[in-house]
Amino acid sequence: MQTVESRTPAMTPPDPDKLDRFVGRMLGDIGAMMTGALVAMGDRLGLYRVLAEAGPSTPAELAKRAGVNERYLREWLSAQAASGYVTYDPETGAFALDPEQAAVFVDEDSPAYMIGAFDIATAVWNDEPRIRDAFRSGRGVGWHERHPCLFCGTERFFRPSYHHHLVPEWLPALRGVTEKLKAGARVADVGCGHGASTLIMAKAFPASTFTGFDYHGGSVEAAADMARNAGLDGRVRFEKASAKDFPGENYDLVCFFDCLHDMGDPVGAARHVREVLAPDGTWLVVEPFAKDALVENLNPVGRVYYAASTMICTPASLSQEVGAALGAQAGPERLLGVIREAGFSQARVALETPFNLVIEAKPH
């Protein structure tokens, strides 16, 4: 029987100093990946919140308050301290959260609240075998096929940004939109997910009516529950529909928050928006920030967005008709090209932030 010899390809020897630096970076990344599971677990057990409420505490004190095993908790706290996620006082043996750590892990209204990102990472790891198969087959993986953590994580991750920027900054960057909303406008929020953006706008503009649309039935149900809990179900409703067939006409404002790049046929979706807008209506498209050239996106923000695009956004688009796969780093030139191809005569980047592109489009 003939055997095939396994060979390592000939490689140029690495520079020792560069290798040391790169291995150091890898250690940091591996620590972050391992710690991510601990963050998700700490959130679900309420450990960050209990620590924030208790103040500096020993593992025994915190274990009693949190209702968990002290030995497990001591190891968890030690790992958190090694990551700089909690503080440790060697003289008292107490652990605590400083204000900055609490803003990231506890305060859901903080613009720096990031717990949702760890839910998204949980979904990505759980779905890795499915995406790996898609790499081989070229098939897509739709949102409806994803791990449940992706849905709650997306709402938790994006809601703080919408809460702090949508009403005070993004809408005022659009010509005449805030005035219409104050007077009473008809608004469609497409790809609304759990409805965070819809409800934030509805609270701010009581004279206007809002309809959130999403093709995922579970998300629509979750959004409707949130509207009822907020006492807004009289002015806000949620319906199951896709971006190419959501009902209604003469909308004053149609919103796409962080979803156009996930769509298989973004041009088709844009054409439908143009059909249902009022003659002087506005289409608001919020997308992840990116420049047009890859080299300009090789930075920490681009790193996160390209990873998310590989595991979530591109598979979602490839699961649909056309499968344009714009990706989460499409950049303004490509995004504006999609909008103009659909027949919008006016399209511009109205606002840039470190994390978002805010685009305004008008049919006339």
Q: Cα 362 to chain center, whole Å?
A: 26
Domain stops at, among 70, 105, 140? 105
Residues 124, 87 within the same domain: no
151, 218 in Cβ contact below 8 A?
yes
Residues 122, 214 within the same domain: yes
Residues 302, 209 within the same domain: yes
6-23 confidence digits (pLDDT tens): 566 678 999 999 999 999
Residues 185, 287 within the same domain: yes
Residues 79, 120 within the same domain: no
Residues 353, 267 within the same domain: yes
Residues 234, 182 within the same domain: yes
Which residue positions in the chain have pLDDT lower than 70? 1-9
**Residue 91's CATH number:** 1.10.10.10
Number of structural domains found in the chain: 2
Domain stops at, among 71, 105, 139? 105
- CB neighbours (10 Å) of residue 297? 19
Question: What is the arrangement of strands in the sheet containing 346-352, beginning at the earlier edge strand?
Answer: 236-240, 209-214, 186-190, 251-257, 277-288, 356-362, 346-352
pLDDT at 1: 46
For residue 60, what are the domain limits? 16-105
Residues 269, 348 within the same domain: yes
Does residue 4 lie within any of the structural domains?
no
Residues 46, 130 within the same domain: no
The residues facing 282 across adjacent strands are 253
Residues 101, 125 within the same domain: no
Classify 357 as helix, strand or coil: strand
pLDDT at 11: 84
pLDDT at 180: 98
pLDDT at 96: 98
Does residue 84 lie within any of the structural domains?
yes
pLDDT at 6: 54
Among 262, 293, 305, 288, which Cα is nearest to 355's?
Answer: 288
Domain stops at, among 80, 105, 130? 105
